[in-house]
Amino acid sequence: MILINGIQEIVKSGAGQLVTWITELLPELFLFLIMLNAATSLIGRARVERLAAKCGSNAILRYMLLPFLSAIVLGNPMAISMGRYLPERCKPAYFASASYHCHTNSGVFQHINPAELFLWLGIANGVMAKDLDLFPLAIRYMAAGLLANFVSGYVTELVTRRVEKKQGIRLDRKVDLWVEKEGEAAAESASKATPEPAARSMAEPPEKRVTEHAVTTSAAASGASDSNRVGTPKGTCSKPGYHAITITRGDGGYGGPVTVTPTEERHKVLYMTGGGMEPEPLARIVELSGMTAVNGNLESCPDEEVALAIIDCGGTLRCGIYPGKGIPTVNILATGKSGPLAKYMTPDLYVSAVTPACVAAVEADGAVRDEEAEEDSNTLAADAKQAEAGSNSFVASTEEVAGSDTYAANAKQMKAGSDTFVANSKKAETCNAARPLEQILQPVLTVSKVISLFQQSAREAVRTCLEMILPFMGFAALFIGICKGTGLTEFLADLIKPMGGSLPGLMGLGIICSIPGLSAILGAGAMAAQMFSTVIGELIAAGSIPPAMALPALFAINCQCACDFIPVGLGMTEAKPETTQVGIAAVTISRFITGWIRILIAIVFSIGLYK
């Protein structure tokens, strides 16, 4: 009977806490996640990575701005991976700062580290119990963290230098982010060293030039119909006039890469977009593949002829209807796997957030065509044509048959050119007729894209809440129920109470938590910090500790932050083995050195808080 009553007390206490979080915190967190996801999609992670490469030369940018932005955009633990853009010598210091940023910003940006959000919520729960606003505490927690985390990072860099000397290791001072560009430059210089085809042909004997020209003329005559196709690039293709392409997802997109190989039976690109406007990547898809574009709003097209469908769907029926038919689908909006037909949206049939830069040609061997190589090949082809034109008169005077072949090829080319002119004229008339409609629909389509962006952001927020935040809240609420129901809270409160309510006590708690060796044990899963947070939150709610001490307490209970995660964290920065060896010692020592400094900074930032 006693056991049953104890279980009921645990469940009752935990359920009360869970209801409080769901009704008071979750709605605000959910709406904030929607706005943040939308902002992240607009900014793009690619821009953040470019910023990271520029932050390596300045300590303030390196240990304050870069980890702060990385934590907001990427969250924990991916924010740590941005250290890959820094020199080896700076990676331990970046980890020391970034791992703290995944906690000190939790009051405002609660999406950063939902798995360890209880470290913040434990003390925040005590402040809410006193009917006080959490926003001032959250803002000061973030502001104090910016300064304290910079101090932790910079001190870790100084300690890293000392550990380097002591262990006889010298870490790299520079980071090479341009290896690929250097390789491309070397390839370009090598190509320049090769004689140009035109120059080489002029330097060769006339007899050899005649032979080569005859072969070239024959090839040109046999492929004249293919080379005159509008928008069809030169290259190897599986069917005459058609070329395989591959499409990858854009920034914030889903799915892909999708490979499309048009055939004589399936050679049309069907686009179903708002107002019938041509989607941005359509021109490049047609240019590289040689397929025919069909406006689904104006024309009907059998599914058996559609090789690719382009849509601008925010997550309803169109996202899955074409993949359900086995038709590769491109969505120009950043829509993930959603809608009633989401089960058909597999990565090999669906790709979203597609821009022209996401479309590339595929060679016959399956390799994606390099743009520079394609441009060079086009240049060589132009030179070959020029050389061919220069030797036409010579061939005509020596071989009458070759002249007749050339005449026939030219006649075919003129006929194909006239057909192309007529087709382009009709297309121009259609575009001119549709231009007023496009001008009217452009604002509507812009609003539609914004709405779609927020819808997708809301779906991602729901997924985050269901898969990460709500399960964690359930665990944390049960943990609080166990602490209250078993009397563990009262026992720990008696131990921490003398330290939690005074500056010397918080200093002592921070020093104990950051002792090298012990910090790795206490840092495992942040369980010790979360337990201390629960107890201190209960003491604040009971009036044993003033609410103004909440901010210093948040720093004191977490001086051992991520000491159990150092090797893994440095691995995420792609650190070399010697960097990891130096970094483990450097971060552990710097945690012990800077723990009390961080608490002092928090004391200063808590002046005037909750008077």
Domain boundaries, the chain: 41-172+502-567+574-605, 245-361
| 312 vs 201 pLDDT, higher one | 312
Strands 245-247 and 258-260: antiparallel
Which of 313, 319, 559, 563 is flagged as catalytic?
Answer: 313
pLDDT in tens, 367-402: 555 554 455 555 555 555 554 555 554 444 444 444
Residue 264 has pLDDT above 60, yes or no: yes
The first and second tokens of residue 147, run together, are: 């300064």
Mean pLDDT in the chain?
Answer: 75
Band the pLDDT of 231: cuts 50, 70, 90: very low
Is pTM beyond 0.85 here? no
Count CA atoms within 13 Å of residue 424 on its CB side. Answer: 9
Q: What percent of the chain has pLDDT over 90?
A: 21
pLDDT in tens, 491-534: 655 666 677 667 788 888 888 888 888 777 766 656 677 778 88
Look at residue 507 in the predicted model and tell me its pLDDT.
Answer: 86
CA distance 502 to 515: 20
H-helix or E-strand spanning residue 359: strand 359-361
**62 secondary structure, DSSP code:** I
- Measured between alpha carbons, how far is residue 194 from residues 190, 383, 454, 574 in Å? 7, 14, 53, 38
Residue 306 has pLDDT above 70, yes or no: yes
Sole residue written with tokens 């502001």: 143
**Range with the poorest average pLDDT among 214-223, 237-246, 329-338, 465-474:** 214-223
The first and second tokens of residue 313, run together, are: 């769907």
- Measured between alpha carbons, how far is residue 64 from residues 38, 171, 560 in Å? 24, 22, 19
Band the pLDDT of 155: cuts 50, 70, 90: very high
Residue 562 has pLDDT above 70, yes or no: yes
Tell me the average pLDDT across 570-594.
89
Specify the long-range contacts of residues 7-12, CB closer than 8 Å, at least 24 apart: 7/485, 9/481, 9/484, 9/485, 10/478, 10/481, 10/482, 10/484, 10/485, 10/486, 11/481, 12/481
pLDDT in tens, 76-110: 877 887 888 888 999 999 999 999 998 899 888 88
Q: What percent of the chain has pLDDT over 70?
A: 66
Strands 359-361 and 258-260: unpaired
Look at residue 143 in the predicted model and tell me its pLDDT.
Answer: 95
Look at residue 227 in the predicted model and tell me its pLDDT.
Answer: 37
Contact 465, 297 (CB under 8 A): no
CA distance 568 to 548: 36
Look at residue 388 in the predicted model and tell me its pLDDT.
Answer: 56
Tell me the average pLDDT across 41-66.
76
Residue 313 appears among annotated catalytic residues: yes
Look at residue 282 in the predicted model and tell me its pLDDT.
Answer: 92
Sole residue written with tokens 């934590």: 71
Look at residue 442 in the predicted model and tell me its pLDDT.
Answer: 64
Specify the long-range contacts of residues 203-206, CB closer than 8 Å, at least 24 apart: 206/394
10 Å Cβ neighbour count for 343? 11
The first and second tokens of residue 143, run together, are: 């502001």
Tell me the average pLDDT across 190-209.
41
Nearest alpha-carbon partner for 101 in 152, 39, 44, 50: 152
Look at residue 216 in the predicted model and tell me its pLDDT.
Answer: 38
CA dihedral of residues 12, 14, 15, 18 (deg, nearest 10):
160
